[in-house]
Amino acid sequence: MFSKTKSTTLIASIFLAAFLAFFAVPFAQPAHAQVDGCEIFEEADYYMEICDDADGYYEYYEDDEGWYEYAEDIDGNVLFDDGGFWDDEDYFYDEDFADYDDEDYDPNEDGGYYDEGTEPADNYDDSDLANNSLGKTEATPGAQPWMVAQVDSRESNAYYGQGCGGSLIAPQWVLTAAHCLEDANASDIDYVIGRHVLSSNEGERIPAAQIILHPGYAQTGGEDHDIALVKLERPATAGTPIELVTPATTHLDEAGILARVTGWGQMGENDERYPDALFGVSIPLISQATCKAQLGDDAIQAGEICAGTPEGGKDSCYGDSGGPLTVPNADGTGEALAGVVSWGDECGAPNSAGVYTRVTEYVDWIAQNMR
């Protein structure tokens, strides 16, 4: 959910998944070394390893459909909770584990299953990204100081760990999408604040201390109320919080106002290039009626606001989720937060707006929970 898939790894994974699905080769995943204090179950239809020793708890399971891995340190803190189960139908592959490489597995090193930051530097090359199907251009460094990156806490390089965006709305609070934090513990998440280029050390990186998902999110099966608050371990000193849109600006969408979305997400529906620098695109807000006409009456709820053009070509995309959709604030002195990147049908397609959580609907919930 948080780690970004690099295309080579993804392509390799798809081939492996397709191979497994077609030939049902059992246990084609990397074999795991026997570790002291482990119980090994080698059955006809599955393989399982459970290690419970002075270093903590480790569990590995695989069968011909996939594999699963989980580890805790001696204090019961989850080190990782991961797996790559493939679904025969659509070759689904869990992106969480795309960076996993068996060579990095070291059973003697507590939690040292990832070899961080060893990926080739040319993945950082942003030079051709201006050529994209979503109208994204590199943002002006520092011009959106509320923009934060949500990063997998296990990955020291934020370029590889980024999976979502977010907005600093108070020194110690980030507003993001609930779907960015599904099944996450606060210890899984860091936020990078005051940074333009993800792989740099600019700004600061602060662990999440508390995650508050909107209660309606789970109730609706993870479709509506896609909003979450995260309290940071300490107040940010880099970055500047953004004000929320005031209820008086609720009808901004009816006026076709130009909103702006920023993020480190991918460059097109089938264009899995991820920028190292922050990118953004300005997109007109559209009315609820137009949005419903495009995406379905039932799909669009009161808590959502849409942005897009009939001809397409201006949109956010995967990896931008949780990030800010901003509009000029009421007194014209800056920007206000109007939306949170939530979902869409196909990034940049004509008559298929991007859907954002409508911040005006949640100002009370935000105020009540921010303490």
| Active site positions, annotated | 179, 226, 321
Among candidate residues 21, 47, 51, 27, the one with its CA nearest the CA of residue 38:
51
**Stretch near ligand ARG under the rule CB under 6 A, chosen from 45-53, 54-62, 217-225, 336-344:** 336-344
Using the rule CB under 6 A, is 316 a contact of ligand ARG?
Answer: yes
The dihedral of CA 321, 184, 99, 90: what is its sign? negative
Per CB under 6 A, the list member of 244, 344, 357, 360 interacting with ligand ARG is 344
Q: What minimum distance in Å lies between the beta carbon of 181 and ligand ARG? A: 11
Rounded distance between C-alpha atoms, residue 207 and residue 202, angstroms? 16
DSSP 30: P
With 0-12 / 13-18 / 19 or more C-beta atoms within 10 angstroms meaning exposed / middle / buried, residue 67 is buried
Q: What minimum distance in Å lies between the beta carbon of 47 and ligand ARG? A: 33
Residue with tokens 């507590």: 110
Using the rule CB under 6 A, is 175 a contact of ligand ARG?
Answer: no
Instruction: Find the binding residues for ligand ARG in span 7-26 (CB under 6 A).
Output: none
Using the rule CB under 6 A, is 84 a contact of ligand ARG?
Answer: no
Per CB under 6 A, the list member of 286, 317, 325, 359 interacting with ligand ARG is 317
Strands 243-244 and 335-343: parallel
Per CB under 6 A, the list member of 245, 327, 341, 359 interacting with ligand ARG is 341
Which parts of the chain fold into alpha helices (H)? 7-23, 158-161, 215-219, 288-295, 363-369
Spell out, one character per residue from 259 to 298, where the chain touches ligand ARG: x when CB under 6 A holds, - when not.
------x---------------------------------
Among candidate residues 199, 205, 200, the one with its CA nearest the CA of residue 236:
205
Among candidate residues 120, 128, 117, 115, the one with its CA nearest the CA of residue 160:
117
Using the rule CB under 6 A, is 343 a contact of ligand ARG?
Answer: yes
Using the rule CB under 6 A, is 321 a contact of ligand ARG?
Answer: yes
Using the rule CB under 6 A, is 149 a contact of ligand ARG?
Answer: no
Which one, 241 or 265, has the nearer CB to ligand ARG?
265
Among candidate residues 197, 269, 3, the one with its CA nearest the CA of residue 119:
3
Using the rule CB under 6 A, is 315 a contact of ligand ARG?
Answer: yes
Residue with tokens 């300490």: 234
CB closest to ligand ARG, residue no: 344
Instruction: Find the binding residues for ligand ARG in span 351-370 (CB under 6 A).
Output: 354
List of residues contacting ligand ARG (CB under 6 A)? 265, 315-321, 341, 343-344, 347, 354
